[in-house]
Structure 1
Amino acid sequence: MQISVAWRVIARVFLPFAAGYYLSYLFRTINALISGHLISETGLGTTDLGLLTSVYFLVFAAAQIPIGILLDRFGPRRVQSALLLVAATGAGLFAMSTELPSLLISRAMIGLGVAAALTAGLKSIVLWFPREQVALLNGYMIMLGSLGAMTATTPAEHLIAWIGWRQLFEILAAVTGVTAVLIYIVVPERVIILSTGSTPATLSSVFSDRRFWRIAPLSATCVGSAWSLQGLWAAPWLTDVEGLGRESLVGQLFIMSIVLCGGAWLFGTTVHCIRRRGVGAEIILAIVAVLFIAAELALILRAPLPSILPWSVVAIVGTATVVSFAVVADYFPPELAGRANGALNVLHFGWAFLAQCGTGLILEQWSTEGGRRTVLAYQVAFGVSVALQIVALAWFAVPSFRSFTEWMGSIVFFAPVDVSDAVEPVILYEQTVVLMPADVDAEW
């Protein structure tokens, strides 16, 4: 009976929201595939293309805080279904647009319409599933949603060759509208009753939490940059720097999308396993950041590696939100899930906008040679982002380093005391663990 109930919840709650996130990811990455068509048909420049693609992230980021509040107040079912109708309208307008202003407006509508796709899904998981399964299900949610990035490569390329990119967006508009109706009809309502003494469900309790501000810059600069690169700048790099033709380019983007899906599953499973062993997910986030910086440096320094290797790491990091949201779920109660996830997503998508638009502005400073940007232009543009990620990693590591030195000092201070049999953990803020003798007075 319990298994039957679980599958019913998956079918009526998990899968409909996964479908909405799938569409969100498809809209996010499709411009990398149609960028050439947009340039040839509308005469867009590099800066215009960067602005057009990144306005999705700007609107997405601006909507996260209001959406988080709406999710906590009205529930994910009503919020998600209403916004997807906006996305459907935007996709329809995008298919008909021929000038930059109309393209920007319709792209902004798409960004607003899918702005709740991930956070609504995560909120539904928190509401309907046991807490110990949240990280694992988050991973599955993002894995299924990442199929949208896969669809935006080879499958979409074949459709565009057959019917054209404008007709493709007309189909996407219809599918998005149907998904909105499906979510409204199929997904049940569920209300969280606040427990006595619970954390006040206010946004200030999220932004005033020091733990949030420790992980947020690192998560934002890494995840947002990964989205920017895969969503737009991977294609120009592979064309201008690696010299790939259209077929090879689409093939490599397809491989990156497969890796993207696998990364979501990997992160979800890893976080689920380590949390069962009492290990915090923060360490996984730090490891991901180090690998991401190393991959970007390999690209910038032109390391003698197959380009698919560092670009696969870039793709995987795009799903590290599984780790970030698992950390946030540990910091805040369920009634704050919408606000907390929305607050973190503001930084994710805000940084993606800055990285995507800023990269276009930097690249525009170099003239083209034979229709291609120089390697130096990309090295400078990507290098600025890497420098800021290193700063964020240092900010994240400082409390850990301070805690380590304090722990070493405590070992030296209590060296004469035999603590082999009588120790107890004292959990300090920032989740630091210091071993102290059990019989030491509490005033220590």
Structure 2
Amino acid sequence: MNLNLRFFLHVFMPFAMGYYLSYFFRVVNGVIAEPVALELGLGPASLGWIGSAYFLFFASSQLPLGVLLDRYDTRKVASYILIIAAIGSLTFAFAQSALMLWLGRGLIGLGVSACLMAAFRAYAALLPPERLPLVNGLQLASGGLGALTATLPVELMLPLIGWRGLFIGLAVLSLLLAVFVRFRVPPILPTTDKPVALSIQIKESLAIFRHPLFLRIAPASVINQALYVALLSLWAAIWLRQVDGYSQAATADLLLWSAAGMVVGFLTLGWLASRLQSLGIPTSLVSIICMVLFLLLLTLVLIRADLPATPLWFLLGLFSTAGALMYAALSQGFPKSLSGRVNTALNLMVFISAFLLQWLIGVMVSFWQPLENGFYPAQAYQVSIGICAAVQALALIWYFIGHRGRSKKAALDTVT
């Protein structure tokens, strides 16, 4: 199949809408955190714990999801799992305790866990490899649009419908989208007529984590994505409010700009990687260079450099997309029969890391005593997020100086 109107209407659009919803759920937590905390009396550790449930449940689904996507019709897997998101959204909407918020947030994460991976599985099955960086970038941009509408627009809606009304609406939307994916997308079946034994599929899935190409590429990609997800979905909003002193409306505005940068990044970096790959420059190298720029920008945020906030947060969002280019790089380095499991293996690591980072930042911040206004000192956030940035730096160093045996070089050549 080519990138034509039929592809975009029957394949891309349903999956893009699913990832839009997935990212909306992911990011809206940062905007509703303050009203939820005020209503239920939650502190930073509780907020981090509740927010991290999305990533924990999401991560726990990735290995079985990869097997399901490679074994069964992709559209059916994606549509059935979306129903869980509707259940989780209703649970969150009617929650009266931190535990119920945690459970609802977790079920939401589980319910949208197939939105991106099902799309990547479908694109890898239907399109030539050289088209993957571009169409993957477009898919990821749809998630960026979800992040955009989960910031300032939600801030404007909250006085009208409240955070509980918002999640009731999202539950209805999840159900409608499940029906849309099921009946709009054509069947995307396994690449072989003879089913592979489940035990063999599981063994192949575990082997991916030991593959030299995966071991070299994954750490930098994982931390880059997980760190920005943890920031945009919770801690960036709290940083802007408690450290930089912005109002709730101004905070939502800056988050909107950062999400806009993410959309631009997904679109432009995917296009750039496709063009450069045709010139012999590997996608993995483009990704790594942009990750270095992301880390430099985050450092400027942490040291509170005297720079205009809007372009700084916009560029941070733009280069946060660098790690996602590795999905295309890895897909090109493995057989199509493994494409679902390769992408979910990387996604598993991303969301385990996002769970840990979002939760641990809250735990580390809680080591400091709150100020009289209930906020925590700037140093608490600088140290906590700075430790995460240092882990990103180590992952980048590993990419450049990690062990490079002969088998590793051969694996890398399959990508370039």
Q: TM-score range by the shorter chain?
A: over 0.9
Q: Partner amino acid for 1:49?
A: L
Q: Partner amino acid for 2:400?
A: A
State how far apart, in whole Å, the 2-side matches of 1:301 and 1:9 are: 46
Q: Partner amino acid for 2:395?
A: A
Structure 1 counterpart of 2:379: 376
* Deviation sequence 1:268-325 (CA, Å, 0-9, x none): 1011111111211111121122112211211222222123344333322443344110
Pair 1:93-2:91 in alignment: yes
Q: Partner amino acid for 1:330?
A: Q
Structure 1 counterpart of 2:401: 398
State how far apart, in whole Å, the 2-side matches of 1:102 and 1:44 are: 13
Query: Does structure 1 conserve the Cα–Cα contact (< 8 Å) formed by 2:261 and 2:316?
Result: no
Alignment of 1:159-174 (within 5 A): 159-174=157-172
Alpha carbons of structure 1 residues 429 and 308: separation in structure 2 relative to 1, 3 Å: same
State how far apart, in whole Å, the 2-side matches of 1:125 and 1:321 are: 19
State how far apart, in whole Å, the 2-side matches of 1:348 and 1:314 are: 18
State how far apart, in whole Å, the 1-side matches of 2:409 and 2:22 are: 39
Alpha carbons of structure 1 residues 66 and 192: separation in structure 2 relative to 1, 3 Å: closer
SS in 2 for 1:31: helix
State how far apart, in whole Å, the 2-side matches of 1:72 and 1:195 are: 12
Q: Give the superposition deviation at 1:195.
A: 10
TM-score (norm 1): 0.87
Q: Give the superposition deviation at 1:129.
A: 2.0
Q: Give the superposition deviation at 1:116.
A: 0.8
Alignment of 1:153-164 (within 5 A): 153-164=151-162
Match of 1:180 among 154, 178, 181: 178
Q: Give the superposition deviation at 1:399.
A: 4.7
Q: Partner amino acid for 1:89?
A: I
Q: Give the superposition deviation at 1:335.
A: 1.1
State how far apart, in whole Å, the 2-side matches of 1:125 and 1:21 are: 14
Q: Partner amino acid for 1:109?
A: L
Q: Give the superposition deviation at 1:250.
A: 1.3
Give the structure with higher Rg (CA): 1
Query: Does structure 2 conserve the Cα–Cα contact (< 8 Å) formed by 1:18 and 1:144?
Result: yes
SS in 2 for 1:299: helix
Query: Identity of counterpart residues, as a percentage?
Result: 34
Q: Give the superposition deviation at 1:432.
A: 6.7
Query: Does structure 1 conserve the Cα–Cα contact (< 8 Å) formed by 2:86 and 2:172?
Result: yes
State how far apart, in whole Å, the 2-side matches of 1:312 and 1:373 are: 25
Query: Does structure 1 conserve the Cα–Cα contact (< 8 Å) formed by 2:213 and 2:412?
Result: no
Alpha carbons of structure 1 residues 195 and 166: separation in structure 2 relative to 1, 3 Å: closer
Q: Partner amino acid for 1:115?
A: S
Q: Give the superposition deviation at 1:376.
A: 0.7
Structure 2 counterpart of 1:286: 288
Match of 2:233 among 227, 231, 239: 231
Query: Does structure 1 conserve the Cα–Cα contact (< 8 Å) formed by 2:120 and 2:136?
Result: yes
Query: Does structure 2 conserve the Cα–Cα contact (< 8 Å) formed by 1:14 and 1:124?
Result: no
Pair 1:429-2:406 in alignment: no
Structure 1 counterpart of 2:71: 73
For the aligned residue pairs, the C-alpha RMSD in angstroms reads 2.2
Q: Give the superposition deviation at 1:351.
A: 0.8
Q: Give the superposition deviation at 1:154.
A: 1.7
Query: Does structure 2 conserve the Cα–Cα contact (< 8 Å) formed by 1:230 and 1:314?
Result: no
Q: Partner amino acid for 1:43?
A: G
Structure 2 counterpart of 1:442: none
State how far apart, in whole Å, the 1-side matches of 2:30 and 2:367 are: 21
State how far apart, in whole Å, the 2-side matches of 1:26 and 1:184 are: 21
Structure 2 counterpart of 1:20: 18
State how far apart, in whole Å, the 2-side matches of 1:273 and 1:83 are: 35
Query: Does structure 2 conserve the Cα–Cα contact (< 8 Å) formed by 1:63 and 1:112?
Result: yes
State how far apart, in whole Å, the 2-side matches of 1:193 and 1:351 are: 31
Structure 2 counterpart of 1:424: none
Structure 2 counterpart of 1:142: 140
Query: Does structure 1 conserve the Cα–Cα contact (< 8 Å) formed by 2:73 and 2:190?
Result: no
SS in 2 for 1:164: helix
Unaligned runs of 5+ in 2: none
SS in 1 for 2:180: helix
Alignment of 1:168-317 (within 5 A): 168-194=166-192, 202-317=204-319
Q: Partner amino acid for 1:26?
A: F
Which one has the bigger helix percentage?
2
Q: Give the superposition deviation at 1:350.
A: 0.9
State how far apart, in whole Å, the 2-side matches of 1:131 and 1:97 are: 45
TM-score (norm 2): 0.93
Q: Partner amino acid for 1:366?
A: W
State how far apart, in whole Å, the 2-side matches of 1:253 and 1:59 are: 25
Alpha carbons of structure 1 residues 322 and 389: separation in structure 2 relative to 1, 3 Å: closer
Query: Does structure 1 conserve the Cα–Cα contact (< 8 Å) formed by 2:148 and 2:256?
Result: yes
Deviating above 6 A after TM superposition, structure 1's stretches of 4 or more consecutive aligned residues are none
State how far apart, in whole Å, the 1-side matches of 2:193 and 2:89 are: 42
SS in 1 for 2:186: coil
Query: Does structure 2 conserve the Cα–Cα contact (< 8 Å) formed by 1:222 and 1:317?
Result: no
State how far apart, in whole Å, the 2-side matches of 1:130 and 1:244 are: 47
Unaligned runs of 5+ in 1: 407-426, 434-444
Query: Does structure 1 conserve the Cα–Cα contact (< 8 Å) formed by 2:222 and 2:323?
Result: no
State how far apart, in whole Å, the 2-side matches of 1:230 and 1:55 are: 15
State how far apart, in whole Å, the 2-side matches of 1:10 and 1:162 are: 35
Query: Does structure 1 conserve the Cα–Cα contact (< 8 Å) formed by 2:291 and 2:322?
Result: no
Query: Does structure 2 conserve the Cα–Cα contact (< 8 Å) formed by 1:268 and 1:322?
Result: no
Which stretch of structure 1 is more off in the superposition, 303-312 or 362-371? 303-312
SS in 2 for 1:384: helix
Alignment of 1:313-392 (within 5 A): 313-369=315-371, 370-392=373-395
State how far apart, in whole Å, the 1-side matches of 2:412 and 2:337 are: 22
